[in-house]
Amino acid sequence: MDSRPVTFLDTLERGPRPPPWRCPWRALVLRVRRARLIALLALLVPLAGCGTVDTVDYYWQGAVGQFAILARARPIDEVIETTPDPALKVRLARVQEIRTFASRELALPDNASYTRYADLERPFVVWNVFAAPALSLEARRWCFPIAGCVSYRGYFDEQDARAEAARLAAQGDDVWVAGIPAYSTLGYFDDPVLSTFVRWPEVEVARMVFHELAHQVVYVKGDSQFNESFAATVEDVGVRRWLAAQGDPRLSGQYERAERLRRVFREILHDARRELTAIYASGASEATKRARKAAVFAGMREAYARAKAGEPGLAGYERWFAGIDGAGPNNASIVSVGLYTADVPAFKALLARAGGDLPRFYGVVEELAARPKAERDAALAAAVDSVPPTAADAAPATAAPGAPASGVAARGAAAAGAQISP
Task: State yes or no: pLDDT of 186 exceeds 90.
Answer: no
- The confidence score (pLDDT) of residue 387 equals 64
The contacts of residue 23 (CB under 8 Å, 6+ apart) are none
State the Cα–Cα distance between residues 199 and 408, nearest whole angstrom. 28
The answer to whether residue 212 is domain-embedded is: yes
Angstrom distances, CA of residue 112 to CA of 100, 205, 210? 11, 17, 14
User: Tens digits of per-residue pLDDT, 408-421?
Assistant: 222 222 222 233 33
Lowest-pLDDT choice from 27-31, 110-114, 166-170, 270-274: 27-31
* Of 122, 130, 125, nearest in space to 320 by CA: 130
Domain containing 159 equals 1-405+418-422
Amino acid at 94: R
Q: How confident is the model at residue 143 (pLDDT cuts 50, 70, 90)?
A: confident
What dihedral do alpha carbons 25, 26, 32, 35 form, nearest 10°?
A: -140
Looking only at the bridges linking them, the beta strands covering 116-118 and 193-194 are: parallel
Residue 117 has pLDDT above 80, yes or no: yes
Q: What is the pLDDT of residue 358?
A: 98
Q: How far apart are the first and last CA of the chain?
A: 4
Find the range with the poorest average confidence among 70-79, 293-302, 315-324, 338-347.
338-347
Average pLDDT, the chain: 82
Domain assignment present for residue 187? The answer is: yes
CA distance 40 to 249: 47
Structure confidence by residue, pLDDT tens digits, 201-214: 999 999 999 999 99
Residue 42: what pLDDT? 44
Indicate the number of domains in the chain.
Answer: 1
- Average pLDDT in the 114-143 region? 95
Residue 47 in this model has a pLDDT that exceeds 90: no
Q: Hey, what amino acid is at 360?
A: R
More confident residue, 28 or 152: 152
Provide the pLDDT for residue 60. 83
pLDDT score recorded for residue 37: 53
The pLDDT assigned to 337 comes to 87
Residues 116-128: what's their mean pLDDT? 96
Q: Alpha-carbon distance 137 to 127, whole Å?
A: 21
| Residue 4 pLDDT level (bands cut at 50, 70, 90) | very low
Q: pLDDT band for 221, please (50, 70, 90 cuts).
A: confident
Task: Name 309's Cβ contacts closer than 8 Å, sequence gap at least 6.
Answer: none
pTM of the model: 0.78
Give per-residue pLDDT as tens, 162-171: 999 999 999 9
Whether residue 222 is predicted with pLDDT greater than 70 in this model: the reply is yes
Say if residue 12's pLDDT is above 90: no
Q: Of the given ranges (114-123, 181-190, 223-232, 407-416), which has the lowest mean pLDDT?
A: 407-416
Whether the pLDDT of residue 23 is over 90: the answer is no
Least confident of 20-34, 61-75, 139-153: 20-34
- Across residues 192-203, what is the average pLDDT? 96
Which amino acid appears at position 421 of this protein? S
413 is a domain residue: no
Answer with the residue of higher pLDDT: 402 or 346. 346
Residue range 96-122: mean pLDDT, rounded: 97
Residue 253: predicted pLDDT: 94
pLDDT at 375: 96
For residue 146, pLDDT beyond 50: yes
Share of the chain above pLDDT 90, in %: 66
Assess if residue 412 is contained within a domain.
no
Sign of the dihedral through C-alpha 131, 132, 138, 142:
negative
Confidence of residue 20 (pLDDT cuts 50, 70, 90): very low
